[in-house]
Amino acid sequence: MNSNLRSKALLAASIWLAGPAGLAQSSGATIYKAKCLVCHGTDGLASSGVGKVMKVKPATDPDVRKMSEAEMIAATRNGMGRMQPHKDSLTDAEIKASVAYFRTFVK
């Protein structure tokens, strides 16, 4: 019985800890799709019409690949080149989540 209780507690803790990680990922993807996809494309390759016209660098570009997470967060918050700042339209947590999602394309 004690082992059964311990197993249930471990399962509950695992589900509780996995929940926020799953939400953060889906949140980042949702924010990216709403705010970033038009220019950066579905796969981060900036292959959309707007991305091509604005000459957005793809996630695979060496300059983008070498940017740290902090630099990408700052660029998203304050704008960079033709990209408008999002500090007034997204929270810091939303910016961080969308950058984390974008960085999945960089790898």
Write the CATH number for 80: 1.10.760.10
Residue 88 within any structural domain of the chain? yes
Q: How far, rounded to the nearest angstrom, does the alpha carbon of residue 15 sit from its chain's CA centroid?
A: 22
Q: Average pLDDT of 62-85?
A: 96
- Map residue 86 onto helix, strand or coil: coil
Contact 75/67 with Cβ under 8 angstroms? yes
Strands of 1-107 (E only): list them.
Answer: none
In a domain, 16, yes or no: no
Q: Per the domain annotation, does 19 fall within a domain?
A: no
Measured in residues, the chain has a length of 107
Quick one: which of 39, 31, 24, 42 has its CA closest to 105?
42
What's the domain count of the chain?
A: 1
Domain range for residue 92?
Answer: 24-106
pLDDT digits (tens, 9 = 90+) for 4-47: 656 555 545 455 444 444 444 459 999 999 999 999 999 999 99
44 part of a folded domain: yes
Q: How far is CA 81 from CA 13, 30, 53, in A?
A: 44, 24, 13
Residues 59, 105: contact at Cβ < 8 Å? yes
What pTM, to 2 d.p., does this model score? 0.74
Confidence category of residue 106, pLDDT binned at 50, 70, 90: confident
Q: What is the pLDDT of residue 38?
A: 95
